Amino acid sequence: MKKSHLFFLFALLFTFIGMNVSVLAQNEPVLYFCEKYGRNGEEGVSDRFTTGYITVMVKSDYALNLDDVSIQYDKYNFRTGDFEYYKKFDFNVQPDMKYIYFSRNDESDMEFEDPGFYRVFLLDDRDRTVTSALIEIIP
């Protein structure tokens, strides 16, 4: 009987501790995709697009403290089971930015020509991953 009381006491204690833990929905930068960024913000947010141009979005709760960054695409190779380098685009941003969109410009086409699965990275000036996400490109 005492063992069941002891078990109940520990279960109750862990329940109260679990209720007091604050879980944050976002504590790291999040990378996601949309068709374009316009006057009304993001248009066509998804993780599945047809071939063509996309816009990469990055959102954070804090300033990212970045200057020179890159968006890199790695394509999944079904034969080897690995992601392989596909292409990379360089951008300049402001250190105080928390919300950034990366879209097609004169130096960076941001285009997916081939269908498949891709891993997309935001890299800092030392090519370290800041954040990443997966995207599917369909014909």
> What are the pLDDT digits (tens) for 41-59?
999 999 999 999 999 999 9
82 pLDDT band, cuts 50/70/90, is: very high
Give burial (CB, 10 Å; 0-12/13-18/19+) of 72: buried
Residue 99 domain-assigned (yes or no): yes
Pairs from 106-113 (Cβ < 8 Å, separation ≥ 24): 108/71, 109/53, 110/53, 110/54, 110/55, 110/56, 110/71, 111/51, 111/52, 111/53, 112/49, 112/51, 112/52, 112/53, 112/54, 112/73, 112/137, 113/51
Residue 114 belongs to domain with CATH number? 2.60.40.1930
Structural domain harbouring 64 = 26-138
Nearest residue to 126 via CA among 72, 74, 69, 82:
69
Mean pLDDT rounded to a whole number for the chain? 87
Integer Cα distance of 50 and 134 in angstroms: 14
Q: Indicate the number of domains in the chain.
A: 1
Nearest residue to 110 via CA among 75, 73, 85:
73
pTM, rounded to two decimals: 0.79
Residue 17 domain-assigned (yes or no): no
